[in-house]
Amino acid sequence: MLQDGFHPEFPPEANAQLAEISARSAPAPTDGIRDLRNLLWSSIDNDSSRDLDQIEVAERVPGGIRVKVAIADVDSAVTRDSPIDQHASSETTSVYAGIHTFPMLPEQLSTGLTSLNEGADRLAIVLELLVAPDGKVSNDCVYRGLVRNHAQLTYNATGAWLEGAPAPPKVGSSQPLQDQLKLQDEAAMSLRKQRQLLGALNFDRIEAQPVIADGQVQDIRAQPKNHASKLIEDFMIAGNEVMARALLHAGVSSIRRVVKTPERWPRIVEIAARYGEDLPSVADSAALNAFLQKRKLADPVHYADLSLAVIKLMGPGEYALARAGEADAGHFALATHDYTHSTAPNRRFADLVTQRLIKSVLSKRPAPYNDDELDAIARNCTLKEDAARKVERNMNKRIAAVAFHSRIGQKFAAVVTGVGPKGVYVRVLDPPVEGRLMHGFDGVDVGDQVHVTLLNTDPQRGFIDFGRT
């Protein structure tokens, strides 16, 4: 963390501020804050998540399903330029290092006072939208509310139930909650289908999940998406679009989340040609998505390999200033020009800044940041996100090196994920582990599928070495 520019320890001034925040009275509805505590809000997150930023509720109405996504009002506790805010503006993100999490905000806030915990009354920013049966969105709006999470659920258990498995206890004991979740799932699927029609890309990303017992890494397993994680992702994307449009229509500058047109589009075209598909010479997300979905149907076993190769060739997203009245670079992967990050203010500073911007609009106050400040924040958020990704990647390699040490000599199917001056890197898909290709790398490029043998692991340095078979 230190080597990559982070300051994991909170300063004494932040701890003093935390004591003051903890002494405040519980929130209550006031002018401009709607009391929505009686709605059947629920959250779905990772099994181990404690920083709950987002809860959801849905209602069937004439014209479709009205979805409400409530986002934790972190700004109500962490004011701008306060000691905690200064620390957050420097770190810009929580870092999930596998064994330990380094939070952007003190845990007493991010997992307590500003987390949408079950049974707790919390202030929130509510993103509301009407989802038509065809997935088109209308009547969207943003306002402040007082909410209560009635059911804290997990991806694994809830996703399995949505896919036909027995219901987890909280869901099984409540018919209203079952009906609510099925309604949310219906709305989410409509949103997803409409995004795909517009050209949004649908990747099957499989993440590595360490298996830890008694403080020791025992194994590493694939953690694919399921019905519940897709539901939350669909609502998150829709909510971020609602927020971006609200700021756009208010005529204020903001921070956007952009994914630029891929510079390595010719390489993506080349990969598609291997499968007998002709992509246009000019980057086209709709054409790329059609190719990806065709390959998913034709070869679902190796689709994750193809998804990973395209993701690597597209490059990472970044934060950018969107000046009032000016168009931004858009989000190529989501096929949209109106997208921001707003749904995770407990763990991303850009989302907290966006929250302050919309609250100034709702209260008809001047914007809390000028363009130069927003531009500097966007640049720092991108820089620190890249650094956090590096920390997490290095820690994942260390964890994988421990888990893989007993598999030296085994053979794996892999895909090339990086080619550069520092070497050639491949990723084994089952389980999803990345390492360096030590020999047999001449002529390979990102996206090539290869067979490799595990040569060595060095947990201390996070090295995993493969040789091409």
Highest mean pLDDT range out of 23-32, 41-50, 153-162, 270-279?
Answer: 153-162
Domain ranges of the chain: 12-252+345-369, 397-469
Residue 60 tokens read as: 């069937």
The pLDDT of residue 328 is 72
Four-residue CA torsion sign, 298, 304, 310, 313: negative
Average pLDDT over residues 239-256: 95
For residues 264-277, average pLDDT = 92
- Percent of the chain exceeding pLDDT 90 equals 67
Mean pLDDT of 315-343: 85
115, pLDDT greater than 80: yes
Residue-wise pLDDT tens digits, 66-99: 999 999 999 999 999 999 999 999 999 999 988 8
β-partners of residue 424 are 419, 437
Give the CA dihedral 311, 314, 319, 323, nearest 10 degrees. -140
Least confident of 16-25, 74-83, 231-240, 294-303: 294-303
DSSP 398-426: HHHHHHHGGGTT-EEEEEEEEEETTEEEE
Separation between Cα atoms, residue 125 and residue 357, nearest integer Å: 12
Average pLDDT of the chain? 92
C-alpha torsion 37→38→43→48, nearest 10: 70
Position 323 scores a pLDDT of 93
Task: Please report the pLDDT score of residue 205 as a whole number.
Answer: 67
Supply 97's token pair: 């290092």
pLDDT for residue 305 is more than 80:
no
Q: Regarding the domain with residue range 397-469, which homologous superfamily does it belong to in the CATH classification? A: Nucleic acid-binding proteins (2.40.50.140)
Asked whether the CA dihedral 135, 139, 142, 146 is positive or negative, the reply is negative
- pTM to 2 decimals? 0.89
